[in-house]
Structure 1
Amino acid sequence: MNLRSRQLPTVLIGLLATVCVAAFLVVVRPAGAAEAPVGLGTAESYAVLAGSAVTNTGSSVINGDVGVSPGFSITGFPPGTVNGVQHAAGAEALQAQIDLVTAYNDAAGRTPATSVAAELGGTILLPGVYTGATLEITGTVTLDAEGDPDAVFVIQSDSTMITATNSAVAFIGGANPCNVFWQVGSSATLGTGTSLQGTILALTSITANTGATVVGSLLARNGAVTLDNNVITRPDCADVTLPTTTTSATTTTGATTTTTGATTTTEVDDTTTSTTSTTPTGGTPTGGTPTGGTPTGGTPTGGTPTGGTPTGAFSGGVTSGTSSSSPGSPYGSLGTGQSASTPLAQTGTSALPATVAGTISLLMGAAIIALSRRRASKTH
């Protein structure tokens, strides 16, 4: 056997080993554009923030602020050490919790998200948004920023996040713990000896078992943060503006009535209704709220109009001895609850417009003259 034939098995073995290693390292590339960091607001200064209580056992070291709100219990310091400020149920912790809610909702709402299996151990994640029903880390999950120090990772769990003993989150390609966010829909548990990087945003509680270390923050909205001989180091991150929520509210007081020529426009609760009528005689409509052409708010005053067209002024959105009808229209003057689109009952000529009444008078006079001439002709 020559030298070349002896080297061939060695080369094949090396290739086989490379393939086997690659088979166990799954690279996941998410869809979507590059993400912006999740802004934490005033919660940024906290290494540990809880909703109900912060409890420590042993000589934990917390590099950053510790806070709780609306609860007020922070216990275990000493023997633990806080290299920061403790805020128990004060205004600072309350505001931090308010900002945490905003940050949590921001992280939970990031899309599009790439679905991943529950077990992240043995995978390489590239920058982007990931989601799973639950999250587990056994062994090491690697986050590869691909040379971009501003690359952002958002990993969402609908329920829990659990890491096994001595599991780890490793960084390559310049990944930055300031830009890694673990959004957890219930509670997170870090196993003994776990080494985690990034910020956990948990809806309920966070438990760090013995010896677990975190380069990032443990932020729980409603429940407790429980520590046991841990080292939690908040990295020095740039401030990121919180997303703003715009609430649009329209309040309408009274109504605005504009009369121009023969068109009346009434605006109530952003709804515009147009009705056609003549410009009221003697004044401008004020005070009332005619809706849909229906004057409301009072009773016609000024007496019963007789012998012609009543005149006066609008007051309170209701006619006061004033006819709002057009010449030749079958509508009389309007009263409470009467619509300009509904004909009124007509009683004699007093309810008719002057033009119609005059026409009838002329016709009646002509008829009387004609009848008189007919009788006269018969007499002769």
Structure 2
Amino acid sequence: MMRQLNQDSSEEENGTQSSTHPNLPFFSFKMIMTATRNCGHENKLGQGGFGSVYKGCLVNGQEIAVKRLSKHSGQGKEEFKNEVALLVKLQHRNLVRLLGCCFEKEERMLVYEYLPNKSLDFFIFDQNQRSSLDWGIRFEIICGIARGVLYLHQDSRLKIIHRDLKASNILFDAPMNPKIMARIFGEDEIQAITQKVVDTFGYMAPEYAMEGRYSTKTDVFSYGVLIMEIIAGKRNTHCGTGRASPNLIGHVWTLWTEGKAMDIVDPVLNQSYPSVMVLRCIKIELLCVQENAMNRPSMLEVVFMLCNESPLCQPQKPAFLFNGNQDLQDSSTSGGGSSINEITETTISAR
């Protein structure tokens, strides 16, 4: 169903084959058009700045999700192939699996495994849907995301900084296991400073939003926001009536300092949860969103804290990203679910 690019193949007229990637899984344009019914509207799953996503079904019955990338991504052909060849090797139960790509004429497409249960934001920010997520499921989601990010940071062949962890980038398979969706277009190597900020307002670490500096601790910050949203059932950018803080981070911090942290817990849980564990997760979240990146734990430490009952240090003041910065606040979209320039990026580097 998919052919391998090999060194003995002659260069096709459209330039899709390359002798530099003998094991790169390649889907023909015709095959993808057949699977997605010509990328018809009835097969469309979503759209963003990167392009559109379509559901497809191969002739052998395998369901796929196809990202048809926009033509102005600015990435060269060989760079595209290099990154696909690297990331297609990533295998983890908490990552969306990249199956291959298509590169014909002006088309660039990424082919992923199809996940039937939509994304975290579909569940956690909807009054009716999130009632189906009891504390046990939410805790498994928190732990699964942590394991996936740890794999990207430390355990994979590549060192990957995601730089756009958010609820809409967490997808679910049939048993509701969380899987991180990562788009692959990053710089050639991990850098300390970038002028291309690609994360989402509400999830951005302060050093990244203000100065373009990023590291693995940038992802830790975004992960902390995710924990908070999963526990509260609200977006970080949600501003409740009567709140002194402009976002959920500040509200949680205020409640924490007043000894009322449990007030943030989603009321649809009806207090059917272990208070000690929930309070521990809130504390871990606050450790992850501390203003100073050096004070944030690594993802390895986060996984350890989630899986053990060892004492936790006291969190320091978090970053209030929207506080006193009206321009930054005005740039966010309603609901805080879109990336800057609507681009989702992942930065990779070979170890």
Instruction: Give the structure-1-normalised TM-score.
Output: 0.21
**RCO higher in 1 or 2 (8 Å CA, sep ≥ 6)?**
2
Which structure has the bigger radius of gyration?
Answer: 1
Identify the structure with the greater helix proportion: 2
